[in-house]
Amino acid sequence: MGAALPKPVQPAAPTYNPEFDKPWRDFKWDQKSELKKHLEEFSLSNPDVKHIRILVAGPIGAGKSSFINSVNNVFQGLITSEAPANSSSSHGESFTTTGHYISRGKIPLVFVDIMGLEPEALAGSQPEDIIKAVYGHVKDGYKFDKSKPLSHKDQQYTSDPSLSDQAFCLVYVLPANTVSMTDDKLFDKLKIIRQRISEKAIPQVIVMTKVDEACPLVNKDLKKIYYSKKIKEKMQICHDKLGVLMCNIFPVKNYHEEIDTNDKVDVLILKALDQIVRLADDRLFNSSGTLLN
């Protein structure tokens, strides 16, 4: 009986490399002081507008309020919680919109956080309510009610908004760790909003949060964010679903459990904020003193 033939050696399965050989987006990690100084000294193009309004929208739990707080953390150099992370009522039926001034009003912008979007047709903020808020028809203190969209007959409806009432940039906050599983119905709502306000050339930015929860590589080292294949994939999903340019999509890590600020977290937030302010001010300048709607 002949000797048994040796079993063929199976080639080893290729090992997946979670990072690119070089960063796919150039990013200067030492620009924190430069960005912070630019924003602190920024003057709006229209002297009649003291604070430009930025509307923040996104699904429940995406980190909208945490992003606003994180921006304040950067400028104050400590952990703050000026924008409550859970502002909805105990039953989740209503949400009172409030303008959040950055660094106690020293930075010339105000974030307006609204009720979180939900996939169901009548759940969460309605697209029409968000569009009205962009165009300045919604007064601060209005209580959004998911069962009853704002009407021009309501006391909290502004029929003749000023430039200071209007938002000149819409920021979508989307969580990187779950964006690929987000219900298409929710993206359909966002696309309705995007299409309507794009008609008025209102700039739109995506702030992609929870990057550390989406990618172990980034969780270990935040500086790997632009080496990460996973983060680029998540940003591509945001682009494909909403049509926002990749150059206007910014992955960030919000402050959540930290008790001290961190330069790496800060510089990512500052870069996103710098682009938001530039885009918003460009739109304000091009408005030539006229209302958007």
Task: Tell whether 4 is covered by a domain.
Answer: no
Question: Is residue 63 a contact partner of residue 209, using CB atoms and an 8 Å limit?
Answer: yes
Q: What is the model's pLDDT at position 90?
A: 39
Q: What is the model's pLDDT at position 81?
A: 77
Task: Tell whether 5 is covered by a domain.
Answer: no
Task: Tell whether 132 is covered by a domain.
Answer: yes
Q: Which domain holds residue 57?
A: 46-170+184-195+254-286
pLDDT tens string 238-277: 999 999 999 999 999 999 888 999 999 999 999 999 999 9
Does residue 94 or residue 114 have the better pLDDT?
114
When pLDDT is cut at 50, 70 and 90, the band that residue 89 belongs to is very low
When pLDDT is cut at 50, 70 and 90, the band that residue 45 belongs to is very high
Q: Is the pLDDT of residue 119 over 80?
A: no
Q: Which of 55-64, 117-126, 203-212 has the lowest mean pLDDT?
A: 117-126
Q: What is the model's pLDDT at position 232?
A: 97
Q: Is the pLDDT of residue 88 over 50?
A: no
> Structural domain tally of the chain?
1
Task: Tell whether 227 is covered by a domain.
Answer: no
Q: Which of 88-92, 138-142, 148-152, 162-166 has the lowest mean pLDDT?
A: 88-92
pLDDT tens string 152-205: 777 778 888 999 999 999 999 999 999 888 778 888 888 888 888 988 899 999
When pLDDT is cut at 50, 70 and 90, the band that residue 20 belongs to is very high
Task: Tell whether 39 is covered by a domain.
Answer: no
Task: Tell whether 291 is covered by a domain.
Answer: no
Q: What is the mean pLDDT of residues 118-139?
A: 77
pLDDT tens string 194-215: 888 988 899 999 999 999 999 9
Q: What is the model's pLDDT at position 29?
A: 97
When pLDDT is cut at 50, 70 and 90, the band that residue 87 belongs to is very low
Task: Tell whether 123 is covered by a domain.
Answer: yes
Q: Is the dihedral of CA 278, 279, 284, 287 positive or negative?
A: positive
pLDDT, averaged across the chain: 86
User: Residue 177: exposed, middle, or buried by beta-carbon count in 10 A (0-12, 13-18, 19+)?
Assistant: middle
Q: Is the pLDDT of residue 287 over 70?
A: yes
Instruction: Label each residue of the chain as H, E or C.
Output: CCCCCCCCCCCCCCCCCCECCCCCCCCCCCCHHHHHHHHHCCCCCCCCCCCEEEEEECECCCCHHHHHHHHHHHHHCCCCCCCCCCCCCCCCCEEECEEEEHHHHCCCEEEEECCCECCCCCCECCHHHHHHHHCCCECCCCEEECCECCCCCCCCECCCCCHHHCEEEEEEEEECCCHHHCCHHHHHHHHHHHHHHHCCCCCEEEEEECHHHHCHHHHHCHHHCCCEHHHHHHHHHHHHHHCCCHHHEEECCCCCCCCCCCHHHHHHHHHHHHHHHHHHHHHHHHCCCCCCC
Residue 96 bridge partners (DSSP): 143
Q: What is the model's pLDDT at position 85?
A: 62
When pLDDT is cut at 50, 70 and 90, the band that residue 289 belongs to is low
Can you give the C-alpha Rg of the chain in angstroms?
22
Task: Tell whether 25 is covered by a domain.
Answer: no
When pLDDT is cut at 50, 70 and 90, the band that residue 83 belongs to is low
Q: What is the model's pLDDT at position 293?
A: 56
* Lookup: tokens for 192: 């309705």
Q: Is the pLDDT of residue 122 over 80?
A: no
